[in-house]
Amino acid sequence: MMHKTELTVGQNVTGQALTVPVYQFTGNQPDAPTLYIQSSVHGAEVQGNLVCHYLLMAFQKLADEGALLGNITIVPYANPIGMNAKSVDYTSGRFDPVTGTNWNRQYHDFNGDYATLATAYKALSPEAIKASFCETLRTSLAEKIARPEGLTTGQGMVMRLQQMAIEADLVLDLHTGPRSARHLYAAAYAEDSARALHIDDIIIMPNGFDGALDEACFVPWWSLSLALADEGITFDHGIEAFTVELGSQEQIDSDDAAEHCEGILNWLMLKGVVAADCQNPTDRAPNNGPKYGVPLEDYITLYAPVGGLAEYLVAPGQTFQKGDCLARILKAENIGTDQAFHAVIAPADGRLILHFDSASLYQGAELCKFTKIA
Amino acid sequence: MMHKTELTVGQNVTGQALTVPVYQFTGNQPDAPTLYIQSSVHGAEVQGNLVCHYLLMAFQKLADEGALLGNITIVPYANPIGMNAKSVDYTSGRFDPVTGTNWNRQYHDFNGDYATLATAYKALSPEAIKASFCETLRTSLAEKIARPEGLTTGQGMVMRLQQMAIEADLVLDLHTGPRSARHLYAAAYAEDSARALHIDDIIIMPNGFDGALDEACFVPWWSLSLALADEGITFDHGIEAFTVELGSQEQIDSDDAAEHCEGILNWLMLKGVVAADCQNPTDRAPNNGPKYGVPLEDYITLYAPVGGLAEYLVAPGQTFQKGDCLARILKAENIGTDQAFHAVIAPADGRLILHFDSASLYQGAELCKFTKIA
Amino acid sequence: MMHKTELTVGQNVTGQALTVPVYQFTGNQPDAPTLYIQSSVHGAEVQGNLVCHYLLMAFQKLADEGALLGNITIVPYANPIGMNAKSVDYTSGRFDPVTGTNWNRQYHDFNGDYATLATAYKALSPEAIKASFCETLRTSLAEKIARPEGLTTGQGMVMRLQQMAIEADLVLDLHTGPRSARHLYAAAYAEDSARALHIDDIIIMPNGFDGALDEACFVPWWSLSLALADEGITFDHGIEAFTVELGSQEQIDSDDAAEHCEGILNWLMLKGVVAADCQNPTDRAPNNGPKYGVPLEDYITLYAPVGGLAEYLVAPGQTFQKGDCLARILKAENIGTDQAFHAVIAPADGRLILHFDSASLYQGAELCKFTKIA
Amino acid sequence: MMHKTELTVGQNVTGQALTVPVYQFTGNQPDAPTLYIQSSVHGAEVQGNLVCHYLLMAFQKLADEGALLGNITIVPYANPIGMNAKSVDYTSGRFDPVTGTNWNRQYHDFNGDYATLATAYKALSPEAIKASFCETLRTSLAEKIARPEGLTTGQGMVMRLQQMAIEADLVLDLHTGPRSARHLYAAAYAEDSARALHIDDIIIMPNGFDGALDEACFVPWWSLSLALADEGITFDHGIEAFTVELGSQEQIDSDDAAEHCEGILNWLMLKGVVAADCQNPTDRAPNNGPKYGVPLEDYITLYAPVGGLAEYLVAPGQTFQKGDCLARILKAENIGTDQAFHAVIAPADGRLILHFDSASLYQGAELCKFTKIA
């Protein structure tokens, strides 16, 4: 059965509690992996809420059928400040309007002494290691939240989300790009598993913390497993955490959401969170097309070389060749002449993942991002 | 020959002059009608600048061929504050960020005593009336600009544009909607002429001033002609001023700009600003499709009945029937249930002209606008 | 006894009801005038909320003492969107961030046919006129709120406040200026009564509607009384509605709030809302200083003649003479020279009421406002 | 003689170059230390521009008198985007409105291999080390600026400022706090020298890079000198770089600027940039009061424990004791009761350096910052 509660993550000027809805399901197999999904930590990236709606519908059906194995927590609408921050038509919910801090760079960094921990854990069973380290993470986070000087607005919000996320084996943080193809970020060790989500483009991340939820979830476990490997112990923690970029911001689309749900359920079947035969295979998109996975260092940003108005010539999801014109920028100072456009040329073969969500660019705006392909 | 100057329309905090580029052409027939075009008084509505680029290219070619008859003034990039006002990816350039005032509601209102003027003009020739009234408008505007207490930032900008516009017979103010089909606003007396612009949807405006440039240009002349009609005199002033909504904001598109240029040149041929045979007719889109013209009172706005995330189901430019679902709004409080969507039903047969440029809506956001059709 | 409820005035993107707190007291004399006070319709103007806090404390004490005669409704925190709209440190809550519309220009305009009403009311008693006209206003407003196409976000909010305000005889809308002296706006007929509020500077308003709450409350009654006067009938409606500017925005101050409470209670004693002897006279500030009242046309705005950084030389509340330097603007283009400052000279004798709340000015920013004094 | 040029640091949407003014003086002693000062990298922090104006006046006089020894570069109005970013009355110029990145956290990090450099420099003279390392920094920065994918808008701006700053021995980056007392940040090794600036409160910084200009200037030299010390070599680089917080944002004040100029000239006399006797000592404020210097770890931020409206009870610059009430926050949910205020109690003896520049607080807003005193 679906259980809904409201979690308070802050308080506004007029005294209202800032709350996020928390939907929980109890699986029927206590040992099955557990799942945490959240959406819209960036306020303009709303498609994930629609995906959550369809997932909630699906999980209720699965629960009715006895096919829900692991415990599940879903937190859509995870950023009540960001989602309500309108600026003219748009939603300026990418960063705290007071501090400028990206909402998705404020998670607690458990920056532990992994070597010492590995030594201490050496003699323990994998289950005991997992339980002990999870308690260590939990305590570290709780202490940060309770520190006497208080937390920033953003920390107060996202660290309470993090408290739920660190309890799960599997974590999805649903985002979107600006004008964007579907893609996701996965830790190098989890790339193969991420393929089950049926998203063509994968950015493969090294071990390191830059403040985002996926990193906050997988970096401690990966780091611990590396330290244990130095002690000669193979530790399979089973933790996977992906930032999934569902497409473009500022829009919702039910057909697109249905495809994302299908991919997520496929992954959950493989991981044993839902029963493996719970979906009619004929309903599933085959996703047999080409797969693209590139290391983070081959995920390249091009910054606007001049100020002006961009006409984007390659769409997100398209493959291009070195020398192709990705966009041309109309230069105000040259209009009415044949020097009006500045061409932005692809410096390598690649796939366009996303571009800026407006024609209007200052010099240095993040024009587009692409993955280099061999 | 194209002549370019920079007109100062304000000054910013750091002392830079705020300037707009002014492109001018002298026609080869002194009596031909004159033209004024501007674009981007709303900063996010940038397609007009690309249209201006292609028009400048076309006018230079026409001038070379001796086919440019009337004087022409083109002012792209007309709002240097609004166009540079970025907010996250977007451009928050619809209103002055200090005062909230819509940039396109700040033109000077010549609110003259038309009855007295008509009496005074009774005995004059049409040419003399035109010259005298134009001087009256010019003086009224100059006095407003020079008033001792100063002007607001927005007035200081747009009234200097207005000084150029009131000198022309034909005026186009190039805008766009948010997510929008092409449409234009025309004074009732000029609807037939506006058809030459090859835009299907026309909103027909009554005589009255609400602060926009088209009104600032046509209302005084229309009012004067009505007052002269009361005196039994038919006065054909020849003034036409249209606000043209080229499509959607935050984007530029060359194919689309080419079609708009074709329409504008077609209108200019009919009005005698450029030679009637200057375009190869086979290049022209026929535009023989249905035409829609509705009075302003049948141009209806629907406001979001609830807060939430809208999935727009009817695209701008589409015709629908009473009872169709125009959009459905995902209600956060109901997700995971079959009550998750609030359907917005068409209250009449119509054509969808535009919708909000984001899924994210407070209750009362301008969800969409449509024209009622009989 | 104080009775608190929450009134829903909108809904945000994440489905939360936007609510305002409503505090009500029932007086012990049914015929006593009734009072409505609200604060912070402009989100940065927060001092009124503190004044409301102290008023609520005072009214509870008066109620306990049997000194509360009329019914009272207090709505602090009246704009939940505007008060929570932070931008860096500040509060950008002066206008709807989506539309730019000033929150305090969206009240319903009852634009009735007063001559016809006066004819219809001719034979009625003052009480009957009052009851009938109040019902007419109530119906007009309710119909506007229920119109099929919906209301804008701002209308949806302020018209629900207006529904409470039009039920009261006495209305205070608590605002502040930017960097400002205390002042208030009063209809010409109510200037003497307004003096009881112990605020030195009064702007005297003509009859006319520009969208604000005070006008929405007094214009219909004033207009009706003028129409009745044309019929030879003197109609004393007893309605007073003032916009009170408590001082500067973005700050609260308890000492200052105590003085404002004292003035408000003094006015309420004179009007018979609270018992005339309910305050210890020795507690009261005498307010025997000079009083300034000027017609709206003598309340002058000076716009920044150049862009730059203003050093304000005359403080709000100070009297100055023609020729005094009110401010000097540091011009970036001239620094390091003795032409660095542009002096802004007083064009007349006056009192400085307020100035812009930042040194940084575009040309045309509202530099300061002053009242001309004879 | 003062030499003024304009440096281009970017380009906006409408094609205008974003420029900053650069004022330069050539001293009459080639070996004298050189000075670089900039102001307003944060757009709302404008007082430094007025200080620059008075410094420019002073330096011209000193140059005329032959008292200007070292070369000087002054860059006021250093952020043309941030200074022009108005939001209602205020200036939202603390971070890039597109990315949210703090303008003062984008300088290039020369993150060199100091141990290897120290080995290579071992045999060189101090002058040769300085010249070589300066060239190394210069090259590293130039390469970053020229990288093929381009720079962000903020990097493009501040790294061009950094190119001037790294050429100077002495660097001042003029900022202000929100509502703030004067204070400055100094590297631990330069605390004594910083005292000459006549600012009571000094925050003493450890060696490390967090993106600000002062760090970008002193960290490489400090790091190199530490590495050379490991080699047994004492290297006195003579580099000093301070972030000076002149007081509060959004305002300029000539009296205050005069005091800051006096302090800056005092420091420059001690460092030999201007002649030691160039000022009449009797003109100088003695600044014999108490001095406060605390390590960065004792500079404490308190975050708003609840949302609400703050009444600040201790002013910037005031000393307080543990247990004092620094501010009280009016809680909307409790007004009209004696639980209306939440008291914020000082957790230690200290000096209040700054507080938030608005009463209106979300939970987690940076309420105030103080230094702990023993």
Measured in angstroms, the CA of C110 and the nearest CA of chain B are apart by 20
- pLDDT > 90? residue A290: no
ipTM score of complex? 0.96
Instruction: Encode pLDDT of D76-87 as tens digits.
Output: 999 999 999 999
Instruction: Kindly determine whether residue B358 and residue A84, on different chains, have CB atoms separated by under 8 Å.
Output: no
Amino acid occupying residue D332: A
* Mean pLDDT score, A222-228: 98
The structure tokens listed for B131 are: 């010259």
What are all long-range contacts of C3-6, with beta carbons under 8 Å and residues at least 24 apart? C4/D336
**Of residues C246, C250, C186, C195, the one with CA closest to residue C218:** C186
Instruction: Encode pLDDT of D162-220 as tens digits.
Output: 999 999 999 999 999 999 999 999 999 999 999 999 999 999 999 999 999 999 999 99
Are A323 and A344 spatial neighbours (Cβ–Cβ below 8 Å)?
no
Sequence-separated (6 or more) residues with CB below 8 Å from residue D76: C332, C335, D21, D23, D38, D39, D40, D48, D49, D52, D53
On average, the pLDDT of chain A sits at 96
How far apart CA C65 and CA C57 sit, in angstroms, is 13
A100: left (phi over 0), alpha (psi -120 to 50) or beta: left
The torsion angle over the Cα atoms of residues D285, D291, D297 and D298, rounded to 10 degrees, is: -120
B367 pLDDT tier (thresholds 50, 70, 90): very high
Sequence-separated (6 or more) residues with CB below 8 Å from residue B247: B47, B176, B177, B180, B181, B182, B253, B256
* Mean pLDDT score, A125-131: 97
How far apart CA A51 and CA C124 sit, in angstroms, is 64
- pLDDT > 60? residue B284: no
* Mean pLDDT score, A105-118: 97
Entry field: residues in chain C: 374
- pLDDT > 80? residue C246: yes
How far apart CA B344 and CA B334 sit, in angstroms, is 16
Q: What is the pLDDT of residue A222?
A: 97
* Mean pLDDT score, B86-100: 95
Instruction: Kindly determine whether residue A336 and residue B77, on different chains, have CB atoms separated by under 8 Å.
Output: no
Instruction: Encode pLDDT of A148-180 as tens digits.
Output: 999 999 999 999 999 999 999 999 999 999 999
In total, the C-beta contacts within 8 angstroms joining chain A to chain C are 41
How far apart CA C364 and CA B369 sit, in angstroms, is 34
D35 pLDDT tier (thresholds 50, 70, 90): very high
Are C211 and C105 spatial neighbours (Cβ–Cβ below 8 Å)?
yes
B282 pLDDT tier (thresholds 50, 70, 90): very low
- pLDDT > 80? residue A277: no
How far CA D119 is from CA of A340, A357, B351, D109, in Å, comes to: 53, 50, 77, 21
Indicate the SS3 state at residue C335. coil
Residue of B nearest to D17 (CA): B16
- pLDDT > 90? residue A3: yes
Instruction: Kindly determine whether residue D84 and residue B14, on different chains, have CB atoms separated by under 8 Å.
Output: yes
Edge-to-edge strands of the sheet including C292-295? Answer: C3-11, C17-25, C72-75, C35-39, C170-177, C240-248, C183-187, C201-205, C292-295
- Contact residues on chain B for A56, CB-CB shorter than 8 A: 335-336
How far apart CA B312 and CA B361 sit, in angstroms, is 12
The structure tokens listed for D334 are: 């409790």
How far CA B171 is from CA of A188, B36, C104, in Å, comes to: 60, 5, 34
Instruction: Encode pLDDT of D304-344 as tens digits.
Output: 999 999 999 999 999 999 999 999 999 999 999 999 999 99
Instruction: Encode pLDDT of B157-214 as tens digits.
Output: 999 999 999 999 999 999 999 999 999 999 999 999 999 999 999 999 999 999 999 9
* Mean pLDDT score, D262-271: 96
Entry field: residues in chain B: 374
How far apart CA D185 and CA A69 sit, in angstroms, is 57
Q: What is the pLDDT of residue D282?
A: 46
Measured in angstroms, the CA of A329 and the nearest CA of chain B are apart by 10
Secondary structure (DSSP) of D145-176: HT-TT---HHHHHHHHHHHHHTT-SEEEEEEE
Q: What is the pLDDT of residue B153?
A: 98
* Mean pLDDT score, C362-374: 96
Instruction: Encode pLDDT of B219-262 as tens digits.
Output: 999 999 999 999 999 999 999 999 999 999 999 999 999 999 99
Sequence-separated (6 or more) residues with CB below 8 Å from residue D160: D7, D8, D9, D145
- Contact residues on chain A for D149, CB-CB shorter than 8 A: 300-303, 347
Burial C175-196 (b: 16+ CB within 10 A, else e): bbbbbbbbbbbbbebbbebbbb
CB atoms near residue D201 (< 10 Å): 22
Entry field: residues in chain D: 374
**Of residues B217, B237, B240, B215, the one with CA closest to residue B227:** B237
The structure tokens listed for B347 are: 């209250």
- pLDDT > 80? residue A26: yes
C282 pLDDT tier (thresholds 50, 70, 90): very low
Residues of chain C whose C-beta is under 8 A from some C-beta in A?
A: 12-16, 19, 77, 80, 83-84, 86-89, 91, 97-98, 100
Q: What is the pLDDT of residue A289?
A: 61
Are D175 and D41 spatial neighbours (Cβ–Cβ below 8 Å)?
yes
In total, the C-beta contacts within 8 angstroms joining chain A to chain B are 136
Sequence-separated (6 or more) residues with CB below 8 Å from residue B293: B191, B201, B202, B203, B204
Q: Which residues pair with D8 in a beta bridge?
A: D19
D1 pLDDT tier (thresholds 50, 70, 90): confident
Q: What is the pLDDT of residue C276?
A: 85
> In terms of C-beta density within 10 A (0-12 exposed, 13-18 middle, 19 or more buried), how is residue C199 classed?
buried
Edge-to-edge strands of the sheet including D341-345? Answer: D341-345, D325-330, D308-312, D360-361
- Contact residues on chain B for D45, CB-CB shorter than 8 A: none
The structure tokens listed for B233 are: 């005199």
Sequence-separated (6 or more) residues with CB below 8 Å from residue A21: A4, A5, A6, A7, A75, A76, A77, B332, B335
Are B311 and B343 spatial neighbours (Cβ–Cβ below 8 Å)?
no
Residue of C nearest to D43 (CA): C360
**Chain B interface disruption, residue of D12, D14, D42, most B CBs within 10 A:** D14
Q: What is the pLDDT of residue B277?
A: 76
Q: What is the pLDDT of residue B278?
A: 74
The overall longest dimension of chain A from CA atoms, in Å, is 76
* Strand A17-25 to D170-177 pairing: unpaired
Are D212 and D13 spatial neighbours (Cβ–Cβ below 8 Å)?
no
Q: What is the pLDDT of residue B228?
A: 98
* φ and ψ at residue D33, rounded to 5 degrees: -60, 155
How far apart CA D113 and CA C365 sit, in angstroms, is 52
B280 pLDDT tier (thresholds 50, 70, 90): low
Q: Which residues pair with D24 in a beta bridge?
A: D3, D73
On average, the pLDDT of chain D sits at 96
Are A253 and A225 spatial neighbours (Cβ–Cβ below 8 Å)?
no
- pLDDT > 70? residue D288: no
- Contact residues on chain B for A178, CB-CB shorter than 8 A: 89
C154 pLDDT tier (thresholds 50, 70, 90): very high
Instruction: Give the whole-number percent of chain A exceeding pLDDT 90.
Output: 95
Indicate the SS3 state at residue B20. strand
